[in-house]
Amino acid sequence: MSSKALDYENLNENIKKCQYAVRGELYLRASELQKEGKKIIFTNVGNPHALGQKPLTFPRQVIALCQAPFLLDDPNVGLIFPADAIARAKQFLGMTSGGLGAYSDSRGIPGVRKEVAEFIERRDGYPSDPELIFLTDGASKGVMQILNSIIRGPSDGILVPVPQYPLYSASIQLLGGSLVPYYLEETANWGLDINDLRQSVAKARYKGITVRAMVIINPGNPTGQCLSVANLKQIIQFCHQENLVLLGDEVYQQNIYQDERPFISARKVLLDMGLPLSKEVQLVSFHTVSKGYWGECGQRGGYFEMTNIPPKAVEEIYKVASISLSPNVPGQIFMGLMVNPPKPGDISYDQYVRESKGILESLRRRAHMMTDGFNSCRNVVCNFTEGKSPVSFLFSAMYSFPQIRLPPRAIETANKLGKAADVFYCLRLLEATGISTVPGSGFGQKEGVFHLRTTILPAEEDMPAIMESFKKFNDEFMEKYEDHKGYSRM
């Protein structure tokens, strides 16, 4: 029997090379343990509903009515649906020809793209053009499509923050490009240093790589920081000088749990900077219904907005979107609802605000519980100020990314087992407690520095027990692998 195209050894090498840690070794082991009957706390993926977050009522009412438009003619519909949900469903159905069962335009329903443009204008203070907004099946699909337009081969480089969300490393590998890392500085609230950026580009160039785009994740995943305006300005200036497309992954823009540093979009900062930059720097910004307090991951709704991309390139991106016909239409409706939720005076307004606030405030409390919990553990440090004393308020997104200071003997033991030290630690944590995290090496980290990423999503009432179980494991682990004289905590 000779070997075939779908035998492992014959697969596209880019597929074999690419790695995706969020659902990698740890996740697979967790799934195995679950099958064997162990209770697993899946904190590896930002998947709020899977951990018990309830969906917001209003959008679900609207989408239910859009899915079952015959209910709109049912005399009893008013008994179980509020009038504003009914009105909104009719409005969405009026935007489509054929409802949720018909392919939309490949860029998404024009009426929803208009709602997105209005949202962006309210947020940034500058008008946005619906023709430059494409709806997508979640933000990931949009990111992959734009990277596919940019990457032509291994000498095309994309600047990606380290630590980074592995969507970027995986997609760049899959598309056969080169990832050019730049490091976020843990001791400076995970900000970035423009001089480091310059060095990264120079190093890449030396290897024959042309850097063509730069990814920022703001608020950061897994690092949870909000970039400052000053930092964003430097980045934009840098992209202008180096002729880079800026890719702004802004999917956590709703997830801000501190007031000191609000989210500001890359687009607002760019347009505030005025000419020539505001007309010259190419920017693509991404958003989603999966994160925020909506957490509607399973619906796969997202969009990207293009700034300063010439019409002929937009047309090509449209053409490629056409090949898979259209993003899923229910996900598009969710996006329309997210950017244009109930307004004061609407019947559902109070409930919508109460539910949204409830989720966001609980996330904020959980963020604090988790950060404080980690900071109380031996050799675990979560977030720094410049003075290096741990603080918990600089926190956005939906993750905690504590540094784990592994004793040399733990690192040696891991090496002997052929595992990265953080993978070894996270596997032990999983086996001991059922907590399924992602080792920091999946996101990239500096040599000799170890982290883990966990979501802050377990139910609030479960959080104390989870943190206690973590602490017990960690302190035993440290006890076991530390030298007798002890391993000093910085």
**Near a copy of itself in 311-370, by CB under 8 A:** 312-313, 316, 319-320, 322-331
Q: Which of residues 87-116 bind a copy of itself (CB under 8 A)?
A: 96-104, 106
Rg (CA), the chain: 23
Instruction: Please name every residue paired with 304 in a beta bridge, in sequence order, or none if there are none.
Output: 134, 286
Binding piece for a copy of itself, criterion CB under 8 A, among 77-85, 126-134, 191-199, 367-375: 77-85
Stretch of 229-237, 290-298, 360-368, 397-405 lying at the interface with a copy of itself (CB under 8 A)? 290-298
Contact region for a copy of itself (CB under 8 A) — 66-74, 259-267, 368-376, 442-450?
Answer: 66-74
Amino acid identity of 328?
Answer: N
Task: Please tell me whether residue 213 adopts helix, strand or coil conformation.
Answer: strand
Q: Of the ranges 10-18, 115-123, 223-231, 400-408, which one interacts with a copy of itself (CB under 8 A)? A: 10-18
Q: Smallest distance, Å, CB 312 to a copy of itself?
A: 4
Shortest approach of a copy of itself to residue 460 CB, angstroms? 16
Minimum gap (Å) between residue 64 Cβ and a copy of itself: 4
Residue 450's nearest CA partner among 436, 437, 463, 467 is 437
* Residue 213 lies near a copy of itself (rule: CB under 8 A): yes
Using rule CB under 8 A, residue 434 touches a copy of itself: no
Question: Which of 80, 83, 87, 353 touches a copy of itself (CB under 8 A)?
Answer: 80
Closest separation in Å from C-beta 316 to a copy of itself: 6
- Residues 372, 254: Cα–Cα separation, whole Å: 22
CA 170 – CA 15 distance, rounded (Å): 9
Task: Yes or no: say if 293 and 251 are a contact pair by the CB < 8 Å rule.
Answer: no
Q: State residue 280 phi and psi, 5-degree precision.
A: -115, -30
Any contact of residue 235 with a copy of itself (CB under 8 A)? no
The residue with tokens 């880019």 is 14
Using the rule CB under 8 A, is 30 a contact of a copy of itself?
Answer: no
User: Of 132, 135, 269, 297, which lies in the binding site for a copy of itself, with binding defined by CB under 8 A?
Assistant: 297
CA distances, 264 to each of 36, 248, 382 (Å): 46, 11, 24
**Number of chain residues interacting with a copy of itself (CB under 8 A):** 104
- Candidates 221, 290, 277; CA nearest to 246 is 277
Query: Do 236 and 273 form a contact (C-beta atoms < 8 A)?
Result: yes
Q: Of the candidates 295, 439, 440, 458, which one interacts with a copy of itself according to CB under 8 A? A: 295
Backbone phi and psi for residue 382, each to the nearest 5 degrees, phi listed first: -125, 110
Interface positions, 108-167, toward a copy of itself (CB under 8 A): 137-138, 140-141, 144, 146, 148-152, 156, 167
What is the rounded distance in angstroms from the CA atom of residue 371 to the CA atom of residue 392?
6
**Amino acid of residue 121:** E
Q: Which of 174, 235, 394, 406 binds a copy of itself (CB under 8 A)?
A: 174
N residues, the chain: 490
Distance CA 456, CA 215 (A): 24
CB 384 within 8 A of CB 390: yes
With respect to a copy of itself, which residue has the nearer C-beta, 100 or 406? 100
Candidate segments 46-54, 185-193, 354-362, 396-404, binder of a copy of itself by CB under 8 A: 46-54
What is the closest distance, in whole angstroms, from the C-beta atom of residue 84 to a copy of itself in the complex? 15
Determine phi and psi for 285, rounding to 5 degrees: -110, 140
CB of 176 to a copy of itself, least distance (A): 9
Structure tokens at 190: 């995970």
Instruction: Give the single-character DSSP code of 256.
Output: B
> Least distance (Å) from a copy of itself to the CB of residue 236?
14
- Tell the smallest beta-carbon distance from residue 458 to a copy of itself (Å): 13
Give CA–CA dist 456/53, Å, rounded: 12
Q: Which residue has the tokens 């697979």?
A: 28
Q: How far is the CB of 255 from a copy of itself (least distance, A)?
A: 16
**Segment near a copy of itself (CB under 8 A), from 14-22, 181-189, 256-264, 441-449?**
14-22
Place of tokens 């509020």: 82
Residue 8 touching a copy of itself (CB under 8 A): yes
Q: Which segment (188-196, 224-232, 274-282, 430-438) binds a copy of itself by CB under 8 A?
A: 274-282
- If one asks whether residue 490 binds a copy of itself (CB under 8 A), the answer comes out as no
CB of 384 to a copy of itself, least distance (A): 30
Nearer to a copy of itself, 56 or 410 (CB): 56
Q: Is 171 helix (H, G, I), strand (E, B) or coil?
A: helix
C-alpha span between 131 and 67 (Å, rounded): 26
Quickly count: other Cβ atoms within 10 Å of residue 37's Cβ.
Answer: 6
Of positions 76, 416, 418, 483, contacts a copy of itself by CB under 8 A: 76
Q: Which residue has the tokens 């607002």?
A: 268
Q: Could you say whether residue 275 binds a copy of itself (CB under 8 A)? A: no
